[in-house]
Structure formats: C-alpha cells, structure tokens
Structure 1
Amino acid sequence: MRDWQAVGHGANAKIGVLLVHGFTGSPASMRPWAEYLNARGYTVNVPLLPGHGTKVEDLNLVKWQEWPAKVESELQSLLAICEKVFLVGFSMGGTTSLNIAARYSQELAGLILVNPMIHIRFVPAQLAWLLSRFQKFRSAIGDDLKRPGVTEAGYDANAIVGVYELLKMCSVTRKQLPKVTLPVQLFHSTEDHTLPVSNTEIILKGIASREKSRIELVNSYHVAPLDYDAEIIFENSRLFIESH
C-alpha cells in the first residue's frame, strides 16, 4: 500500500517501466508484473495513486489532476536515470497513462494498456456529480477476477465523488487521444464485467499511433494482470519492450 520501486541490473538497467494501478485498487495489482520485469533487469516503479491505499473516504477528497500529476512526477524521476521509459496502465491507470502519453509521446518509448478506461457508457460526469449529492459510496467494483483467492487489495466500496473526478479525467483525456503518437500495445479481456469493449475500441480508434496492437485475453476478467492470462501479458509486454 505504498510506492514501490526496484533498480534494474545488467543490460536492461537503463530501461525504465512505470506501472499504474486502477481506480479503488492498489500497487498490489501491478506488483507481480513489475517483479517479473525487474527480474529481467528493468528498472521498475509502481506508484500509489492519491486517495488510494488508506481509506475509501480519502478517494472522495481527490481532484482528478492529482492522479496524472503523481504519475508525471514518477515519470520525471525515471527519465532522469533511464535511457528509455515505458508507461504501463491498467483500467483507470490506463486513462492516467493516456493523459500523460498525450504530452510525453516524444519522451516515452512505448505505452502498454490493460483493459483501459475512457468512458462509462450512458454515465456522464454530471450524472455522477448529481448522484454524489445524495450518496457518497456504493458497492465495490474491484476484484473482478476469474482466478479464485486473488485480490488487488483495493477498497471494499466505491467513492462517488471519486467517480465524478474519474469521469472528468476520462472526458479530458478522450479529447487528447489524437496527441498520442507513440507505439501502443493493448490487452483486452473478452469477458470483462467492469468495462465494456467500447473503451478499447474508442482508444484504438482515437490515438494517432502508427504502431498499435491489440491482444485478446480469453481466460481473464477485468483485473487481468492478476488473473489466468497474467503470463501472456507479462511475456508479450517483455517482447514489446525489447522490440522498442
């Protein structure tokens, strides 16, 4: 429940990978992936996003700008010590990563997304704001996993003001998708109970990247980095990084 970093070694020590977790989640959802990459020599960084890792009430106190600001700060740290840096985002971490990539496409070597979010169908930010006037919390959306006995160690409730801020970030970021020009690798679970496939389709259509690939995950739900297809994600991301 805190920022986690590991210095690389060998020939890959100067290659950095910044991995960003999802809404109501924690670095635990990205830690096995980060450890996999670090074991192969890469320098890795898994930040804890503001409003997370404490208590769910804190997620109702965060402005959406704090999430990309945190990731940008960690990115600057990696750019200072690494020759190349890759950005990795899961779910809302994908939204945050796209927001950063729209401004850092020239500095980043590549972007990897897993079940990224860019909208909630038929739920505009204004509706979430109206709901937040009457209800501060709803049932949790986390731990959508096919693999039993696994958790992303997130909150057990959903902060509605936080959802409002999240949807505002989605709206802003969606308008910036044409500014994303770097190579992109996207993983999508064919059975995702949290986000519909329209998120993946909007992102792939909206970004201006010449090189963009989509890999289907058939044995995982939303939290795919911890699910049965984790090795597919880990191995293909390694190949993507090596090729760039």
Structure 2
Amino acid sequence: MNVLPGAEPFAHDGTRTGVLVCHGFTGSPQSMLPLAKRCAAEGFTVRLPRLPGHGTHWKDLNRTRWTDWWSAVDDAYTELAQRCDHIVAVGMSMGGTLATLAAQQHPHGIGGLVLINPAYVMRDIRLKALPVLQHVVPSIASIAGDIKKPGVSELAYERTPLRALQSQRRMWEQVTRDLPQITQPVLLLHSPDDHVVPPECSALLLARVSSADKTEVLLHDSYHVATLDNDAQLIEDETVQFIQRVTAASS
C-alpha cells in the first residue's frame, strides 16, 4: 500500500496544549495540513493522522469501516493525552463527525471542539438505495474537490467507495443520536454554499448539543473544503483564538 505523496500524517510536539486534527471522507491529511501547521506554529502539540483506507487508492477505503477510522483518531488522542494537559479536537466534514465522537467518548479529555462543515446526516434520496447498491456497484462519482478558490485542488479520491460510505452512515447515526452528550465549548465554521454537506448538519449540531459556549462563524467565500479555500486564513485565526481561550479558561 503506497501512500500518495502529500497524504502523509502530520505530528508536532510543542506545549502541553494538544490539537487533534481529523480529515474527511475520501480525502487525506493534505486538506487539514495548513491548519495543523498553523497550530504547530502557535506552539501547540498537534496530531493529524491519516485515516485507514485514505491517501492510497479508493479500493483500500472500501476495505475499511468507520470503526477503523475511529481507532486511528482514538490512538492519536491517546498520544496527546500522554503529553498534554488540554486537548481540542478539530475536524472537517467526516473529520468533524470523528472529532465530535472524540468529545463524546472522552468528555473529560477533550476540552473543546472546532468543527468545519461537519457531517451528521444526509437527506439525499439516492442514499436510500445504498444498503443494496453497495453490493452491486463498488463506487460512484467523487464528492471531493468542492473548492471555490481557483487553482486549488484537494488530494482526494476520484471515486466514492460505497461500502465505506454505508459504514459512514452508521457512524452518523450514532454520533447524531449522542449529540446532547456534548457539553464542551464548540466553534462551528460552516459554508452557506456547500455542495457536499447540507446546511441542516450545522443547524442540527447547534440545536442538539448541550454546550453553553457555542460560536458560529459563516464562511461566505468558501465551499465545502473550506480549509483550502478563500476563508482558510479566517478558519486558522478563529481556531487558534478559540484554542487559546478555552484552554486558558480550563487552566
């Protein structure tokens, strides 16, 4: 299994403030690398794992399930927990789902959540056929590369593997069910013009979490892969300020 150039995981050891960064479905660490490196430049300890089945070939992803992706995220969390006093989880798209799951599974270890166009539910009528279709067709057209900024591309698969997609749906169901368990401060950054994740995902998060501290930032000049889009600087600035604020409050 050869990892695509640019899809490697990223790690940086810094202060005792940790940042757990999660990339999205069919993507790779490349989409979150600028944000991870900004956090490292601020001195934070950072872990950005490459999720199993990602960053190689889409057929590899079809051989994995959501529990495999979660295991990689949980391992990265364990590394941070051994080094850090405070940890904030950051994720985009399915990475946002995984970051939310981390906060649910480690309510005393994750002190805050930064979510960028997170995915929790899809109402696409075509998904109703997915339980059967996954056994007939291995993949469909790609969902990657939804970026407004000209000349920028996402290192992601050219196909969407259906067995893996069906597994992701099961993760959505569990994480969405348990959203009221979230009490940590939340920074939600989302694009009104997103061609992958519907706006109801952000509305659902804000409505169902139990957090008293919720900040919503609209990304008006970006599509789904906002960390590589026109609002990347805004995302990085807001994320750093949020991490500094919530970790200072818990010190």
Aligned partner (choices 148, 151, 165) of residue 149 of structure 1: 151
Task: State the partner residue of 2:233.
Answer: 231
Task: State the partner residue of 1:3.
Answer: 9
1:170 Cα deviation after fit: 0.3
Task: State the partner residue of 2:3.
Answer: none
- On the 8 A contact 1:29/1:225 being kept in 2, the answer is yes
- On the 8 A contact 2:117/2:197 being kept in 1, the answer is yes
Secondary structure of 2:145's aligned partner: coil
Secondary structure of 1:86's aligned partner: strand
- Letter of the 2:103 counterpart: A
Alpha-carbon distance in 2 for matches of 1:14, 1:124: 45
The correspondence of residues 24-35 of structure 1 with structure 2, limited to 5 A, is: 24-35=26-37
Kindly report structure 1 stretches of 4+ aligned residues shifted beyond 2 Å.
122-127
1:179 Cα deviation after fit: 0.9
Structure-1-length-normalised TM-score: 0.95
Q: How many equivalent residue pairs?
A: 240
Output the aligned Cα RMSD: 1.3
Task: State the partner residue of 1:165.
Answer: 167
Answering whether residue 112 of structure 2 is matched by residue 110 of structure 1, we say yes
Task: State the partner residue of 2:56.
Answer: 54
1:40 Cα deviation after fit: 1.3
Secondary structure of 1:195's aligned partner: coil
Alpha-carbon distance in 2 for matches of 1:72, 1:210: 25
Alpha-carbon distance in 2 for matches of 1:29, 1:79: 24
Unmatched 5+ stretches in structure 2: 1-6, 247-251
The correspondence of residues 68-217 of structure 1 with structure 2, limited to 5 A, is: 68-123=70-125, 127-217=129-219
- Letter of the 1:35 counterpart: K
Unmatched 5+ stretches in structure 1: none
Residues 63-88 of structure 1, C-alpha deviations (whole Å, 9 max, x = no match): 21111111111001001001111100
Secondary structure of 1:65's aligned partner: helix
- On the 8 A contact 1:92/1:116 being kept in 2, the answer is yes
| Greater shift in the superposed pair: 122-131 or 141-150 | 122-131
Residues 149-188 of structure 1, C-alpha deviations (whole Å, 9 max, x = no match): 2122011111011110011110111111111111110001
Secondary structure of 2:82's aligned partner: helix
- Letter of the 2:11 counterpart: Q
| Greater shift in the superposed pair: 229-238 or 94-103 | 94-103
Alpha-carbon distance in 2 for matches of 1:209, 1:74: 24
- Letter of the 2:67 counterpart: Q
Alpha-carbon distance in 1 for matches of 2:126, 2:49: 28
Answering whether residue 27 of structure 2 is matched by residue 21 of structure 1, we say no
